[in-house]
Amino acid sequence: MIGLGKRGEGVMNCAEFQKVLPYIIETGGNTEEERHLRECLVCSDLVEDLKYIVEQAKLLVPMEDPSPRVWEEIKASLEREGRIKRARLKGRLLGPIPWIGALGAIILVAFAAFLVERGRQQQASASVENTTPPLQTISLNTVPTEQDDEQLLQQVAASRPSSASAYQSNLDQVNASIADAKRTLEQNPDDEDARQSLIRAYQQKALLYELAAQ
């Protein structure tokens, strides 16, 4: 009877298989273990379930931010320790959610989250053995291309069709604002306001990627 392998010469039973399972599930077993898995529906169901759990666990991207109070506490501690200078003069706004101060980093954090999510979705059907942590593989020196924008829109269209047109029009708007600010900055490289506008435009694009990835 399948599922109740008989103990005996050269035949592995379920209890024996499940005893070695922790050690072979990620590497594959020997011939005998593989044969038991092929022939036993109970154990193959079990292995499928465990693989499914592993796949689902990989889809658990970080969803929540800590309270803004956490950063306030950190900042206060760092100031007390003299590791950072106290907040600047009024008029210079660091912001409640820390202003990142870096164009590249701003856009990339959201873009990385987007890629991670996409990468994980693509891996959802991969086997247990193929467990690559995607975050480390992302280049932190890339900015989204037109192709990435297209993929973002496709992802939104698939997951939240009613939001697709809003993402399309707002992405167009953000890209236009980036082009606007870049043009002005090229004409006048010392225009600090245009530079700030460009940073903010990238921040807005980052927001779109971040919201799309949720």
Partner 1 sequence: MTQQKKTIASGLSEADAIERAKQGDAESFAGLYALHKRRVYSLCLRMTGNTAEAEDLTQEAFLQLYRKIVTFRGESAFSTWLHRLAVNVVLMRLRKKGLPEVSLEESLEPQQEDGPRKDIGARDNMLAGSIDRLNLERAIESLPPGYRIIFVLHDIEGYEHNEIAEMMGCSIGNSKSQLHKARMKLRDLLKPSRAERAAKRA
Partner 2 sequence: MAGRQKMSNTSRSVTLGLLAALALAATASAADKKEFRYTVARGATISVVNDYGSVRLRASGVSQVVVSATPSSSKVEVDAAQNGNRVEVRTHFLRKTGENDGRVEYDLQVPADANVMIRTASGPVQVRGVGGDVSVDADTGQVDVRDSNGHVRVRTVGGPITLNNLKDGFVEATSVGGPVMLNNVAGRVVSVNTTGGAIVYSGDFGGGGQYSLTSHSGNIDVSLSASASVDLTARTVTGTVENDFPLQAPVHPIMALSQGKSFAGTSNAGASAVRLRTFSGRIRVKKSH
User: Given the rule CB under 8 A, which of 54-62, 148-156, 157-165, 168-176 is the region that contacts partner 1?
Assistant: 54-62
Residue 207 binds to partner 1 (criterion: CB under 8 A): no
Length of the chain equals: 214
Site for partner 2 in 169-208 (CB under 8 A): 169-170, 173-174, 177, 180-181, 184, 191, 193-194, 196-197, 200-201, 203-204, 207-208
Residue 93 binds to partner 1 (criterion: CB under 8 A): no
In the complex, minimum distance from the CB of residue 165 to partner 1, in angstroms, rounded to a whole number: 26
Residue 49 binds to partner 1 (criterion: CB under 8 A): yes
The rounded distance, in Å, linking the Cα atoms of 130 and 60 is: 17
Alpha carbon separation from 79 to 66, 71, 84, 96 (Å, rounded): 20, 12, 5, 16
Radius of gyration of the chain (CA): 26
Q: What angle do CA 140, 144, 150 make, to 5 degrees?
A: 145
The rounded distance, in Å, linking the Cα atoms of 167 and 150 is: 11
Alpha carbon separation from 177 to 95, 194, 201, 209, 212 (Å, rounded): 22, 11, 6, 16, 19
In the complex, minimum distance from the CB of residue 33 to partner 2, in angstroms, rounded to a whole number: 38
Residue 121 binds to partner 1 (criterion: CB under 8 A): no
In the complex, minimum distance from the CB of residue 138 to partner 2, in angstroms, rounded to a whole number: 23
Residue 31 binds to partner 2 (criterion: CB under 8 A): no
The rounded distance, in Å, linking the Cα atoms of 163 and 177 is: 21
Residue 108 binds to partner 2 (criterion: CB under 8 A): no
Tokens at 6, concatenated: 């008989």
Q: Please, which residues bridge with residue 8 across strands?
A: 11
Site for partner 2 in 136-165 (CB under 8 A): 160-163
Tokens at 70, concatenated: 């956490």
Residue 179 binds to partner 1 (criterion: CB under 8 A): no
Residue 115 binds to partner 2 (criterion: CB under 8 A): no
What does the binding site for partner 2 look like in residue numbers (CB under 8 A)?
A: 64-65, 67-69, 90-91, 93-97, 160-163, 166-167, 169-170, 173-174, 177, 180-181, 184, 191, 193-194, 196-197, 200-201, 203-204, 207-208, 211, 214
